[in-house]
Amino acid sequence: MLSIKNLNVHYGVIHALKDISLEVNEGEIVTLIGANGAGKTTTLRTISGLNKATSGEISLEGKDITNIAPPQRVKMGISQVPEGRRIFPEMSVLENLELGAFLRNDKAEIKKDIEKIYNRFPILGNRKRQTAGTLSGGEQQMLAMGRALMSRPRILLLDEPSMGLAPLLVREIFNIIKDINNTGTTILLVEQNASMALSIASRAYVIETGAIVISGTGEELAKSNEIQKAYLGGE
Ligand SMILES: Nc1ncnc2c1ncn2[C@@H]1O[C@H](COP(=O)(O)OP(=O)(O)OP(=O)(O)O)[C@@H](O)[C@H]1O
Ligand SMILES: [Mg+2]
């Protein structure tokens, strides 16, 4: 569904992504794990079009999107939940969700989708008039995910959804991710929480200083000694 071939990205002289290639097939949860500064966010932002590729190709369902503008990519079915949530703090929960549908003009369907989001995240329904900045970290993560779903993505890009959340909430967020996937949305999940990410992913890639160094099934990587040592706190 999503295919990245020999992608390079630079920030000035910094070579942030070095010839990375990866695939996400329809219906999968694929995770990209790696340490701080490895290039995870850069990868997602380049897929969304927020960062420019220096070379290489990104394609969605066989269509080359490497040079297409970000809103067009949203229309084609790519939606990103950014690192740190980035909700609009002064706006209400409802207004944040409506903004997620800014490229749509099917008003009645938008309304139905907002109700679906409230079903998936009841806390958001209870707080629809509350300003988003007053939500807890976990609630803001749910709002960011809800907002991203409002564009009806075929593939959802999640950038460290578990960041800063208590273990119980992390588990809840991961259950929601699985559920979103089960209802037909393909997922590319970036995480530092490798053990949780590997437990729900069908396949995984490990990125180190801008290069993909290991890939395999979630199960294979969870068992790998190298991964245990570097990312799972094992010996
Ligand atoms: N706007 C920028 N200008 C210059 N360098 C940048 C910029 N954004 C990222 N970088 C550099 O690119 C590299 C990859 O950064 P990136 O944010 O993709 O890492 P990451 O894997 O998401 O890290 P983290 O887990 O901390 O979020 C880092 O060395 C970073 O310093
Ligand atoms: Mg990041």
13, 18, 42: residue to mutate for ligand 1 pocket, most atoms within 8 A of CB: 42
Along the 235 residues of the chain, how does pLDDT read in single tens digits? 999 999 999 999 999 999 999 999 999 999 999 999 999 999 999 999 999 999 999 999 999 999 999 999 999 999 999 999 999 999 999 999 999 999 999 999 999 999 999 999 999 999 999 999 999 999 999 999 999 999 999 999 999 999 999 999 999 999 999 999 999 999 999 998 899 999 999 999 999 999 999 999 999 998 888 888 887 765 5
CA 163/CA 170 separation, integer angstroms: 8
Q: Give one DSSP letter per residue of 122-191, joined into a string.
A: HHHHHTTTSBGGGS-HHHHHHHHHHHHHTT--SEEEEE-TTTT--HHHHHHHHHHHHHHHHTT-EEEEEE
7, 32, 41: residue to mutate for ligand 1 pocket, most atoms within 8 A of CB: 41
* Count of Cβ atoms closer than 10 Å to residue 123 Cβ: 14
- Name the residue at shortest CA distance from atom 31 of ligand 1: 37
